[in-house]
Each structure stands twice: as C-alpha cells, then as structure tokens.
Amino acid sequence: MHPRHYQMNTGGMFSRPPQGVLAIMIATAVASVVAMASAGAFGTGGLTRLLMFSPSAVLDEWRIWTPFTYLFVTLSPIQLLFWEGFGLWMFASTLERQWGTRRFLFFFFATGTGAALLTTLLGAFAAPLRVAPPFAFDGTYVAFEAAILGWVLMNWQATAMFFFLPMRAPWLLVIALVFPFLGIVAGNWIPYVPVLSGMGIGYLLLKRNLSVRGLWLRFRAWSIRRHLDRTRSKSHLHVVPRDDDSEEGEQQRPPKYLN
C-alpha cells in the first residue's frame, strides 16, 4: 500500500468514470428506481423485498442472491444521488484508476457481499439482527463506507474536497466513522452491523495487500502442501533390514527397499 501525496482535483469528478464504476452507477440507478417504484404508493413492494438483504431473507427464505443485489438498491433518493456522485464518481473512480478494474470490483464485492454474509452469520445467533426487516440495511451505504475507507488508506496524505471544503484524508475517515458511532450510541445498532463489517473486511484486504491473484496463489500453495503431506503419509516404501546383517555389514551395504 503506497500513500499518495496530492490534492484531489474536483474537476476530475465530472470526467467520464472508468468502466467498472460506470457499470455500477448504471446498475444502481436502474435497480434503485425500480425498487422505489415497487415500494411506493402504486406498488406492492414485492420486487423490492426480492432485491434487498436481511439475515432472515437468507436464513429463512433462502434468498441467497440478496447479499449481492442489495449493493445496487437504495430507497432514498438523497442517498442515491450522494452515492452516485460523491461515492462512486469521486472516490470509487479514483480507486479503479489506481488498482485497475478487476481489483476494484473484487474489493467492491468482497466488502459489500462479505459484509452481508458476515451479518447473516451473526444473525444466526443474534435474534434482533435476524428478524430485522430488509429495509433496515442499505447496501449502497455499506459500499460507500468501504469505498471511503479504501480511498483514505490508499491516499493517506491526500486532500479531498468535502462539500467544497478541503479535508485531509484521515479526517474524512473520522467523519465516515462518526455516523455509525452515533447510531450505535442512540441504540439503533442493527443497520450498522454490515457497514462496520464491510469496513473491517476492507481494512484486512488492504492491510494484507490481498488481490484476486494473490488469494488464488495462496490457495494453490495450500493445495500443493496438502497434497505433499498426503503423499508422504501414504508412502508404501519401508526400510527392512536383513536378518543376517551385522552392524559392520549395515555400514558397508545400503539398505534394501521392499515394495
């Protein structure tokens, strides 16, 4: 991880985003508008529930696709605009340009989907988390916090424009953590479980400098070690000394191997 020493140019915010971010922006806009219409006065909300995540949706209703689809759905128009413009266009675009599309998408889904899976696991043991409704979890907010964390850790010495105010990267991370902290203090901790889980996963990924290729190489090395261990344990060659061998003869002749 190499810190960047520069001031973010807000004019670059209005340049064309890279292909990974652009695809996420389009998918989020379409899915969110459809979900808003489904949950609105003229809809039944059925489609919205099919897209949004909750531990009960995965554990009880077997909607195993929701840890993936909830990343593209928000029911708040303000959150949609904030995520599209501030989170994706400004910060996620920078990450994709620094990392490349493949590593950025790996980080996006590893933090967002991984946070949902971890929340599901915790929900299996915590009843309040398990029975929380799908509308309690906003996937775009989970992805937003993870993107802010990733940008800050990659650009620790940089300065960003936060609502047209220059702000150093560490302070931006402090602000990102203030809202979950205040929500937990107020007693509304359930929506922030996937948020903090995603940030924790993102921190581990960047701290250990993991990537798709790195994880694959680690898995291959582990598989080879396991194969070698099994081969040694099942070896059928044994040293069998001859009955008439003396100590002097054993030193002069090599041992005889029997299959």
One domain, residues 120 and 136: yes
In a domain, 72, yes or no: yes
Out of 139-153, 171-185, 235-249, pick the least confident: 235-249
Residues 198, 221: one domain?
no
Segment among 1-15, 43-57, 119-133, 195-209 with least mean pLDDT: 1-15
Question: CATH number of the domain that 196 lies in?
Answer: 1.20.1540.10
Query: Any bridge partners for residue 258, and if so which?
Result: 238
pLDDT of residue 9: 45
Give the rounded percent of residues in the chain with a pLDDT score beyond 90.
56
Return left, alpha or beta for 227; rule: phi > 0 is left, psi -120 to 50 is alpha, else beta. alpha
The pLDDT of 234-258, averaged and rounded, is 55
Question: What's the domain range around 78?
Answer: 10-210
The verdict on 102 and 148 lying in the same domain is yes
Q: Which amino acid is at 145?
A: E
- Whether 150 is in a domain gets the answer yes
**Same domain, yes or no, for 136 and 228?**
no
pLDDT reading at 15 higher than 70: yes
191-213 b/e (C-beta count within 10 Å ≥ 16 → b): bbbbbbbbbbbbeebbeeebbee
**pLDDT interval class at 1 (50, 70, 90):** very low
For residues 28 and 133, state if they share a domain: yes
Provide the domain count of the chain: 2
pLDDT of residue 193: 96
Q: Residue 176: inside a domain, yes or no?
A: yes
Are residues 120 and 169 located together in one domain of the fold? yes
Note whether 184 and 60 are same-domain residues.
yes
Q: Where are the alpha helices (DSSP H) in 19-138?
A: 19-39, 46-51, 55-59, 66-69, 77-81, 93-99, 101-123, 127-130
User: Are 188 and 230 found together in one domain?
Assistant: no
Note whether 234 and 160 are same-domain residues: no
Residues 6+ apart with CB under 8 A from 153: 1, 202, 203, 206, 207
Assess whether pLDDT exceeds 50 at residue 205.
Answer: yes
Residue 140 shares a structural domain with residue 235: no
**Mean pLDDT for the chain overall:** 83
Based on the fold, state whether residues 142 and 245 are members of the same structural domain: no
Average pLDDT score over residue span 70-91: 91
Instruction: Tell me the whole-structure pTM to 2 decimals.
Output: 0.77
Asked if residue 138 and residue 125 are part of one domain, the reply reads yes
Decide if 191 is inside a domain.
yes
Q: Residue 227: inside a domain, yes or no?
A: yes
Neighbours of 113 (CB within 10 A): 23
